[in-house]
Structure 1
Amino acid sequence: MTSLDVRDMLDLPNSAGPRPAKKQKLTNVRPNLKGLQREVQSLGGDNPISIVPAVPQYKKRRLVGRKPAAKWELKPFKNSAREDDMTLKHWRRKTEVPPKQEAQEGEGGEAAESEVKEELDDSAFAKFNVQVNIPKYDDEQYEAKLKDEDWTKEETDYLMQTARDFDLRWPLVWDRYEYQPASPPDTEGTESTALVPEHKPRTLEDIKARYYDVAAKMMAVHRPVQFMSQVEFSLHQLMSSFNPVQEALRKRFAENAMSRSSEERREEESLLIELKRIMARSERLNEERKDLYARLDAPPSSSNVGVYTTSAGLQQLVQQLMNADKSKKRKSILGPEGTPTAGPGAAPVDRRESAVREPAAAATPATTKKGGAGPAERRKLSEEDQVVFGVSTHDRLQSGPQFRYDRIAKMVSSRSAVLASRITNVLTELEIPPRLVMPTLEVGTAFEALLGSINVLLDTRKASDKLDGEIKLAEAQKAEREKKEGKKKEEEAGQVEEAAGAAEAEGEIKAEGAEKERSVSVARAGSVQAQQAAHKRSASVLSQVSDKSTKRQKK
């Protein structure tokens, strides 16, 4: 029901006047004055009270422990990184030494105190003095391995000392390298005729080459090449193959490239573009020329021609040629080894190939459908380069991106909950997290191999548990069967014994009756004798049965 319906029932006009607007209360945030009650603050109204009592505030008393203050002492220390024996002092917390026993007083106690005083603490910053390992050699090793006509032993020693002082910072080493050959000693009253070696200015490349040569040779002296590790061997090869001329050319080329003007840069770019256009045009011309020579040369018949003499053979040949044309699609006519092809068979050697066309035959890129030059053939990476650059080949790729961790997690999630929990327990025992922190390609491959081994182990364990259960079940069934057979044999032996006892009792009773009634009649006596013979026969049979049962039990 709306307001219009209510007005219609009350016979009120439909046009209702506007509602009076509510007065908005202007509320200002009153300051909260501490030390005054709320009623006193409300007496001021909108205007705050200007008189505010001052409430004294004091700092809280600091809780001081009852323990005595720590004692500090000024202790001397030394720095092992310094060559001089400079001793400095710093403040250190005093360590309380327990009082010594009276027996240790005297000379022994004084000697111990002197030793304690002599032991100075080492500076905490001495560990930051990291020195570079510079090759060391003696006179015999220098004469045998390191002798050079352009370098003397004194200059080599100066180079090694300078490299050690400046931590192999080659710009600093070259800047501070100021070797002066030693002059011969002057003799009084005589003129010196000794030859003074001429000072040779050394470039940075010469200094590097000499140092790397000495370091590589001394490295091979201390550890032969065949006993080096992979890192040591790579470092040895890098130092041995240093070429100062190539290094100088590289620096000169870098300087020229950095000092080029904008006009020279644009001119070089235009020349490179023109060179690419010329190379593409020459490659396309070589392709067309080789295609023409391949069509003119007839391929040698290396197969049996008699197969194509019939109509079915000719039809098969035509079908092969058509398939070859379809698969070709105007691509390069060179085979995998650079030999021209013509149809299904390839010619071994192009006899009309000239010397100008030989360089282009080494590697010719495929041309596009419109006849333009395609991309140049790329260099094949080695296995080490593929590992370094992360290149991998796949037989079949799935659609869409895929993360390595998702592929690894799918191997666990695809299993049942029980098997997944077992795999997690095995990884926990091996202290390996179930989620890899850095799932690189090598780590992912190793983790997949580990999961495969864990799955094989769990399957083997499951099969062994199943076999153990089956063996235990068979043993239980066998024991139960043997128990039943033993009980049956015991019952049969008991029945036989009972029958034998009953027969013996009956025989005794009948024998006593026969003796008492012997005078009755001869016919009854004959019957009694017959019955006794029958009882004896049954007793012999029962004894034989009991013997057989005992033999079975023994078996």
Structure 2
Amino acid sequence: MNEDVRDILDVERGGTALTKESLMAPDPKKSRRTDPSMKRPQGMHREVFALLYSDSSRGSNSSSIVPTDTGSGYRQPRARLGQNRVRAWKWMGFTNPARKDGAMLYHWRRATDEGKEYPYSRFNKSIEIPSYTAEEYNKHLSEDQWTKEATDHLFDLCRQFDLRFTVIHDRFDHDKHKRRSIEDLKEHYYSVCNRLNKIRTAREMGGATPELVAYDAEHERKRKLQLERLYNRSHEQVEQEEILIAELKKIELRKKEREKKQQDLQKLITAAEQSTETGQKMTKRGASSSNKKTRTTTPQKGSGGGGGGGGGSGGDSAVVFRSYDKSSGVSLRSSKVKMPPSIGQKKAKIIEQCLEDLHVSLHPMPTEQITLDYNELRTEILLLLDLKATRDSWEFEVQSLKHRLESVSAEKLPRDITPHHSKKSALSDLVASGHSSGRKRRNALVDGAYKKARK
């Protein structure tokens, strides 16, 4: 029992008996003692000295926490001289293997390295330039535009300047030989190298395929010409190009928006056609329970896509009331006439306002037939709202195109075309794509949906 108490109180085992005096006495192990020989240096703050020398395990080997010029904190540095002798250095001459003139150069070097090769000679890399005989040149390498003297001069410069063709072009003797461009020099050099490679590979290795260097001089000439034209553009030309690029981006953006609106409008028309076909089929078959289930699931083919123009729900709005009445397990029929959560508050209030204008109760008696008719009516109202928003969007776009055409001055148009006729034809061309073919059908659908909602 006493040993357990000693463990709990963190008292050493086997010592004296547990008394009040022994428990209240300070622990000799936990007492902190500082080395009396370590005194706080003059000018050092007491807190810094406590951080450095409070730990007894560090002792006098603790280093300063601030960067100093000495390696031992605040003590005076002492020179640490080794016992070994200083290595001797000697002023000696050397030759660079890259030079062929045997020039003697001098530098300081360790005495032990005397007679060794120049250490930087390993960086002396040179390109191997092929050579040819007079027989090979006359038989395989001769050209009408190049003489043998000009070719020899070109290859000598390539060996001297390691294929730095800018320097080679500068040192080429244009007065003695015909004046050449850098592309001409490179084309002739690589052409000679490829022909030599083919000849020697066929002679030594038979039918082996040689490694050839592909160089298109014509492409390089066109590229440099284009860069020169680009560099020589005036400030006005640069600004005009930036304006044209910005207009091109706007045109592409408007084109994408028109395509998206056409797709959304087509989805609305498809959903309306499917809704009409489904209603006709259900009228013929009667109001049986199995037919009602089919009526609730079939129109989901037209779902998908966003609403056009005014931000409607597109094809989903045409079937949202029928797809919402799906439920698993037991449910009340009154839950099928609730407003679906996918319809925003703004549209929900518009639908409620339309129902009030038609003198239709917002909470009708939820019989089977009333529920189906009520959802069908709200679907038609929602489809009518989407079509109206799409029509407003198209009308706004047509008006904006008209204003753009009217801003064009009559002087820029051809003289044989009247301004009114040209504006009208241009406007028709701008709005006719994807719009004229379905205009009558959309108008008929809008009128039919509105009449059905009024009934």
TM-score of the superposed pair, with normalisation by structure 2: 0.34
Q: Greater relative contact order (Cα 8 A, min sep 6): structure 1 or 2?
A: 2
Greater C-alpha Rg: 1
TM-score of the superposed pair, with normalisation by structure 1: 0.28
